[in-house]
Amino acid sequence: RKHVDLIGFPVNSWFNIYSQDGSNEEELHQASKEIHQIIYQEMKGGRDPRQIVLGGFSQGAALALYSVLTFPRRMGGLILLSGWYPANMNINPLKARQSCNVHVPVLHCHGLLDIKVPMKLASQCRSILSKLLSSYQYKEIEGLGHEVNSAVQHFAAIFMKKVAKANTKSLPLYIKQ
């Protein structure tokens, strides 16, 4: 979709971001419905949702997080790269604890030099998710900005091997920004 960034330039994105503290909640919800439909299509094809690891980068990570926490079936896992917990996500932690996905394995990687999704947002996300999710891993990467490097790829590969070991048929479903 075409939206505008925080300074008014047109960008491709899942939903509008109005500030570091607020996004368009309805657009976030609608985008997650699209992700849910992709998962349902996989399920119609015979894939168990526990075989699906949802992941995203930046805004895609925020969407993946929202999508997993609101999906009504247990997923295989979640990978968040340079992501955040949208402040207006309208998922209060008490309600989210009742999600069937609070026990899925989660890997969250963030670069210490990221200026697009500042460490403040990563720290807020870590603070919330470390209390909310039972299998949450957080990795800060020195010298990394708003990007993915070989260290992140290494952490993701190790994470996927662990998830696959738990379910040998596990295959990832990626969200690209």
Cα angle, residue 87 at apex, residues 82 and 89 outer, rounded to 5°: 95
Task: Identify residue 20 by its one-letter amino acid code.
Answer: Q
Q: How far apart are CA 31 and CA 129, in angstroms?
A: 21
Say what the pTM is.
Answer: 0.83
Give 66 or 173, the one with higher predicted confidence: 66
pLDDT computed for residue 113 by the predictor? 96
Average pLDDT of the segment spanning 121-146: 92
C-alpha distances out from residue 69 to 96, 149, 150, Å? 7, 27, 28
Give residue for tokens 């976030």. 28
Question: Is the confidence at residue 163, as pLDDT, over 70?
Answer: yes
Q: What's the pLDDT at 170?
A: 44
Catalytic residues: 58, 114, 146
Q: Beta 106-111 vs 136-141: how paired, if at all? A: parallel
Which of 18-32, 107-121, 126-140 is predicted with the least confidence, judged by mean pLDDT? 18-32
- Mean pLDDT, rounded, of the chain: 82
